[in-house]
């Protein structure tokens, strides 16, 4: 279930247009916080809150190099969303397997 908890945070992180824009930008390659903040008409402290949400979801890693904080996208984390759908498929396939086995046994009691 720990994986699902991580997923909740990923969904929360993605449920915001500023943060999605940051993800899109980071898809092109790493960038500094100030570079990322530039297109947005919000204060740096508010922007940093978004960065922190992204960081705690694991979608973005940050590292200080000198006086600059660089952000990198964790693509594997982003892939969790796809992984989750695959898992839902697995749940429904398993369910269908069990239903099929159950009704087939009903029909031909052995």
Partner 1 sequence: MTDIDPRLDLTLDRVIRAPRDVVWQAWTDPAQLAQWWVPAPTVARVEKLDVRPGGAFVTSMSDDGAAFVPHTDSVFLVVDDGARLVFSNAIDSSWHPASPEPVAMTAEIVFDEHPDGTEYRVVVRHADPAARDRHEQLGFYDGWGAVTGALAALAESRAG
Contacts with partner 1 by CB under 8 A lie at: 4, 7-8, 11, 14-17, 20, 84-85, 88-89, 92-96, 98-104, 106-107
Q: Yes or no: say if 57 and 10 are a contact pair by the CB < 8 Å rule.
A: yes
Classify residue 28 by burial, with Cβ atoms within 10 Å: 0-12, 13-18, 19+. Answer: exposed
Q: Yes or no: say if 32 and 62 are a contact pair by the CB < 8 Å rule.
A: no
Q: Which is nearer to partner 1, 76 or 93 (CB)?
A: 93
Shortest distance, position 70 Cβ to partner 1, whole Å: 26
Shortest distance, position 106 Cβ to partner 1, whole Å: 6
Tokens of 5: 């908890």
Cα(39)–Cα(76) distance, integer angstroms: 26
Shortest distance, position 68 Cβ to partner 1, whole Å: 29
Shortest distance, position 57 Cβ to partner 1, whole Å: 12
């Amino acid at each position: 279930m720990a994986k699902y908890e991580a997923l909740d945070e990923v969904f929360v992180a993605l449920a915001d247009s500023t943060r999605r824009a940051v993800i899109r930008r980071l898809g092109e390659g790493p960038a500094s916080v100030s570079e990322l903040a530039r297109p947005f008409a919000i204060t740096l402290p508010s922007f940093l809150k978004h960065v922190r949400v992204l960081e705690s979801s694991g979608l973005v890693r940050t590292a200080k190099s000198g006086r600059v904080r660089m952000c990198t996208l964790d693509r594997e984390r982003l892939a969790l969303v796809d992984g989750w759908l695959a898992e839902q498929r697995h749940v429904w396939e398993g369910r269908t397997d069990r239903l099929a086995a159950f009704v087939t046994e009903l029909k031909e009691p052995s």
